[in-house]
A and B are shown apart, each in its own frame.
Chain A
């Protein structure tokens, strides 16, 4: 009886010690492990954050697409600007041009040096250019001198100046435009070609599929003229 009690006492002491130590260990792990409620809370937070992250990613994708679109618009605008600059340069004579047109070669009558009254004069060239322009010529050059808005054709001494450059016969006039119309305008009955031929000037007009008009040798520039601001303050 006494022995039995001793055994039970020892057994219970062992069990109690074990339980106490084990609980102590478990309780002291609180700081190192996550309590159940906290885990639940963190799970919810994680879910919320994942959703937020997904939202933000979608937003980023959207913004990236918008950015790409904006960039595309920008490059399109740049292309348009470049095209406009090119066109303006062509109109101003800054670039060589080519297209269908006519080639007119004018030379002094045979046996006459420059200076006789039968020689080709600036007025003759002006009249030819005038006719060509009236017939719709888009670009004209005389002996490699491109005719632009500031170009002059005038006699200086015994020579003719174009763009302040001295040119000598034979005069080769190149014009881009409707070649048939240009040719017809020059060769009309009683027109400039017939008149000049009557004077004995050698003149040939030929329509060409491809005429190349050079660029202005010196770039066009204005020292005094300024564009009037439009659409700005009055």
Chain B
């Protein structure tokens, strides 16, 4: 368990350092796809946390959900833009709602009061 926390913190620090120092720059027009991808990734992470707290954590689902959700979210928003449909807002709302739901469930778990 402690190894896990250390690994997570180490991964976060290395990832943030990489992201801040990479000489790669994404055009502003693609910034919103990145934003949606981040939202999807955060949702996956909180989903994973909730699953582990509920005792039904599946590594394969977690790992695939993280990347596939992020890529799919960004891809769908991109497709929506090509088609003239504002899928961006839909993605934000969907992931936002799920995120807050997951957070609420995690909070309840920590408070020890199951629904």
Contact = CB atoms under 8 A, between A and B. Distances in A.
Interface in A5-27: 5-6, 8-27
Contact of B19 (A13, A19, A36): A19
Contacts of A26: 25-26, 28, 31, 34
Interface string B23-45: 00110110100110110011011
A26 B36 CA distance: 13
Given A19-B37, A35-B28, A12 B19 contact: no
Contacts of B62: 8, 12
Contacts of A4: 59
Nearest to B70: A19
Contacts of B31: 23, 26-27, 29-30
Interface in A24-82: 24-27, 29-30, 33-36
Interface residues of B, number: 38
A8 B8 CA distance: 10
Contacts of B8: 9-10, 13
A11 B3 CA distance: 14
Interface in B33-91: 34-35, 37-38, 41-42, 44-45, 48, 57, 59, 62-63, 66-67, 70
Nearest to A35: B28
Interface residues of A, number: 30
A21 B4 contact: no
B97 interface: no
The majority secondary structure among interface residues of chain B is helix
Nearest to B19: A21
Contact of A13 (B7, B17, B25, B38): B7
A21 B18 contact: yes
A54 B18 CA distance: 50
A110 to B, nearest CB: 120
B20 A15 contact: no
Interface string B1-19: 0011001111111111111
Contact of A9 (B4, B19, B41): B4
B22 interface: yes
Given A19-B34, A27-B35, A12 B45 contact: yes
Interface of B: 3-4, 7-20, 22, 25-26, 28-29, 31, 34-35, 37-38, 41-42, 44-45, 48, 57, 59, 62-63, 66-67, 70
Q: Which 5 A-B pairs have the closest CB atoms?
A: A17-B15, A21-B19, A13-B11, A18-B15, A14-B11
